Amino acid sequence: MPLMTRKIPTHDASLPAVELENVTVRYDQTVALDQISFRLNRGDRVAVVGPNGAGKSTLFHAIAGVVRPDQGQVRIYGSVPGGHICVGYVPQRKAIDWNFPVTVTDVVMMGRVGKMGFLRWPARHDREAVHAALAEVGMSAFADRQIGELSGGQQQRVFLARALAQEAELLLMDEPLTGLDMPSQEAILTIIDRLHTHGITVMVASHDLNQAGEQFPLLLLLNHRLMAYGPPARVLTTENLMAAYGGQVHVVHTTEGDLLLTDTCCGGGHDLPLPELAHAAPPVVQTVQHETVESMRPPR
Amino acid sequence: MDILHLLTDPLAYGFMVRALLAAIMVGIICPVVGTYMVLKGLSFFGDALAHSILPGVVLTFLFGWPLALGAMISALVAAFLIGVISQRSTLQEDTAIGIVFAGAFALGVAMISTASNYAVDLTHILFGDVLGVSTTDLWVMLVLGLVVLGAIVAFYKEFLVLTFDPVLALVLRLPATALRYLLLGVIALTVVTSLQTVGIALVLAMLVTPAATAQLLTRRLPPMMMVAALLGVFANVTGLYISYYLNIASGPTMVLVSTLIFGLVFLFAPGRGIIWRMTSNGGRSPAGASPTSR
């Protein structure tokens, strides 16, 4: 028997997959999260959007139980995150040392460590779980590659597979699409779509408002406080975005509707075609990098 | 004189046999533990820890207690102080390490200077005295070494998760803080074990250099540990023989051999050596990795 048996909270399926109640997190004197309350149901897919430094990573850490809220409560299927090992976390790519001597299989097997217990080596069902997870994300052919030898999209899929091997029921992905080319982004979005049919709840941090609005049925707009939460058409309003992005957003009135400019300092590849977000006089959302309003032409 | 005699002649002396056994044991233990230090960026911590154990070593030396005991107590006190200073102030951890390390080392040197045969003993403590290893020392090294290797094997998968992705360790609800202290404790024990062979000032080279060389040659952790141990043993044994025939201090010679091997691998390693990269079209692949074929 494992040396230490963990108390794994039972899941009450009638309760929300994620529920936050007045969650406040402070670092020293600054408030990272201010009285956040919302709930997600099983299988929901939510994109968490907001300016840089809005507390997206902190929110994920609080939900994962890595950071303890100073006030308020996080509940996963009705109980605090502390004992849950069903929360999968896909870190930002820059948080990982890609020269680390581990193969794709090694990384995915790490997801099983919580289930194995101390002084145990991977058993057959652990190896099977790893194979299945790799097949699910289409990375079986790369099982023996060192992780630094993969492309950015492949690396992201490996970490997705790790969360699957962990048998995660709630998946938190921190900026998984940042810096990836379009085919890689689409491959990952397809996998996320499929996860939701398995009843896995997915939260994805993104600073690409366009993509979040197009690809996710729910948006959560964050800037330390919860600015808006709901379907994209209700969240991506001029009013909400002005409130969330403050000085970083500029509204330009054009003949074709409002042009909304946000200035993000990090990441790349956001000069995407403008989507129609909603029919009733929608603001057109365009993310530009360190550009002034004057240099931006309204779309023809 | 043939090669065989070159190798066997020194073993006519008992002190050389003991030195060889010590060199081999340290050559295995240090690089295996050093692998985690290289991967987790703990080199400075390891060096500081080694210097911080000086006061304890001197104290136990003066009272005639086992050196390992004083060294262990010093290491624990130093690690505790570093933790307190970095957590209870706005200082960075490396600053806290620097303060404790220099202060403890100064205390140790000051204590030695009050003793009579100051110069000789300080040299031995700083640079090791592998030729003076006793049979009892060997037994202590063997036991401590087995404890260290046992911990590395027993907690292999937990240490791997902790080193690669500390957030995952927390998400998987592993006792991350306890595991971190266990790893630091294992490093401390390793430093204590190697003290007699290479001394305080050079133990870092034993820990870090073979492991760093191995990282340039391998793609997974278990092979990295094995290659590191092989390189450690080879460097120490070769260094010991060179020091015997050329009459150079043995600890530094072992370290120099190890450094030389690192230099060669750094230049010529397939895939990752700089010569290989320059001659093979930059060796470009996604994420800046080398396209090492399997």
CATH code at position B217: 1.10.3470.10
Question: Is A238 near chain B, with CB under 8 Å?
Answer: no
Output the six-digit token pair for A294: 């004057």
Note whether residue B290 is domain-resident.
no
Instruction: For residues A123 and A269, state if they share a domain.
Output: no
d(CA B194, CA B203): 7
**Residues 85-124 (A) with a CB less than 8 A from some CB of B:** 85, 87-89, 91, 95-103, 106-107, 109-111, 113-114, 116, 118-119, 121
Please report residues of A whose CB lies closer than 8 A to that of B157: 109-110, 113, 116, 121
Using left for φ > 0, alpha for ψ between -120 and 50, and beta otherwise, residue B65 falls in beta
Question: What total of structural domains would you count in chain A?
Answer: 2
Pick the last residue of a domain from A230, A253, A287.
Answer: A230
Range of the domain at B190: 3-280
Instruction: For residues A259 and A223, state if they share a domain.
Output: no
Q: Mean pLDDT, chain A, as a whole number? A: 83
Note whether residue B288 is domain-resident.
no
Note whether residue A128 is domain-resident.
yes
d(CA B89, CA B84): 8
Output the six-digit token pair for B30: 């240090």
Instruction: For residues A75 and A128, state if they share a domain.
Output: yes
Note whether residue B289 is domain-resident.
no
Instruction: For residues A73 and A172, state if they share a domain.
Output: yes
Instruction: For residues A101 and A220, state if they share a domain.
Output: yes
Instruction: For residues A176 and A205, state if they share a domain.
Output: yes
Instruction: State the nearest Cα–Cα gap between B91 and chain A, in angstroms.
Output: 14
Instruction: State the nearest Cα–Cα gap between B12 and chain A, in angstroms.
Output: 42
DSSP H stretches of helix in chain B: 3-8, 14-40, 43-52, 54-63, 67-87, 93-114, 118-127, 135-154, 156-164, 166-171, 176-198, 203-217, 221-246, 250-268, 274-279
Note whether residue A300 is domain-resident.
no
Query: For residues A278 and A202, which has the higher predicted lDDT (pLDDT)?
Result: A202
Question: Is A80 near chain B, with CB under 8 Å?
Answer: no
Please report residues of A whose CB lies closer than 8 A to that of B223: 101
Instruction: For residues A107 and A133, state if they share a domain.
Output: yes
Write the residue in B158, B223, B291 that is nearest to A113 by C-beta: B158
Q: Do B167 and A82 touch (CB under 8 A)?
A: no
Note whether residue B125 is domain-resident.
yes
Instruction: State the nearest Cα–Cα gap between A221 and chain B, in angstroms.
Output: 24
Biggest CA–CA distance in chain B, Å, is: 64
d(CA B245, CA A266): 60
* Candidate from A166-175, A212-221, A229-238, B194-203 with smallest mean pLDDT: B194-203
Find, among B20, B21, B34, B26, the residue nearest to B214 by Cα: B34
Find, among B229, B225, B222, the residue nearest to B258 by Cα: B229
Write the residue in B157, B161, B286 that is nearest to A151 by C-beta: B286
Write the residue in B154, B168, B291 that is nearest to A110 by C-beta: B168
pLDDT in tens, chain B (294 residues): 688 888 889 999 999 999 999 999 999 999 999 999 999 988 898 899 899 988 988 888 778 777 778 888 888 888 788 878 877 778 888 888 899 999 999 998 888 888 766 655 778 888 888 998 989 889 989 999 999 999 999 999 999 999 999 999 999 999 998 998 899 889 989 998 888 788 888 999 999 999 999 999 999 999 999 999 999 999 999 999 999 999 999 999 999 999 999 999 999 888 777 787 777 654 444 444 444 433
Output the six-digit token pair for B237: 């044994």
d(CA A291, CA A274): 17
**Cβ-count burial of A258 within 10 angstroms (0-12 exposed, 13-18 middle, 19+ buried)?**
middle
d(CA B164, CA A197): 31
A155 to each of A146, A162, A186, B167, how far by Cα in Å? 10, 11, 14, 17
Question: What total of structural domains would you count in chain B?
Answer: 1
Biggest CA–CA distance in chain A, Å, is: 71
d(CA B210, CA B188): 18
Note whether residue B130 is domain-resident.
yes
Q: Provide the Cα torsion B197, B187, B192, B100; round to 10°.
A: 110
CATH at residue A95: 3.40.50.300
Instruction: For residues A286 and A183, state if they share a domain.
Output: no
Range of the domain at A273: 245-295
Instruction: For residues A217 and A251, state if they share a domain.
Output: no
Instruction: For residues A187 and A263, state if they share a domain.
Output: no
B224: closest chain A residue by CA: A101
CA geometry: angle at A228 spanning A223 and A229, to 5°? 120
d(CA A175, CA A54): 13
Average pLDDT over residues A106-111: 97
Note whether residue B107 is domain-resident.
yes
Note whether residue A142 is domain-resident.
yes
Q: What are phi and psi of B201, to 5 degrees?
A: -75, -25
Instruction: For residues A28 and A81, state if they share a domain.
Output: yes
Mutation choice for A interface testing from B39, B42, B167, B168 by most A CBs within 10 A? B168
Note whether residue A5 is domain-resident.
no
Please report residues of B whose CB lies closer than 8 A to that of A152: 286-287
Note whether residue A36 is domain-resident.
yes
Q: Do B287 and A151 touch (CB under 8 A)?
A: yes
Instruction: For residues A128 and A261, state if they share a domain.
Output: no
The predicted complex's ipTM stands at 0.86
Instruction: State the nearest Cα–Cα gap between B258 and chain A, in angstroms.
Output: 21
Instruction: State the nearest Cα–Cα gap between A64 and chain B, in angstroms.
Output: 6
Note whether residue A210 is domain-resident.
yes
Note whether residue A6 is domain-resident.
no
Please state the separation of Cα B120 from the chain's center in Å. 23
Q: Do A166 and B172 touch (CB under 8 A)?
A: yes
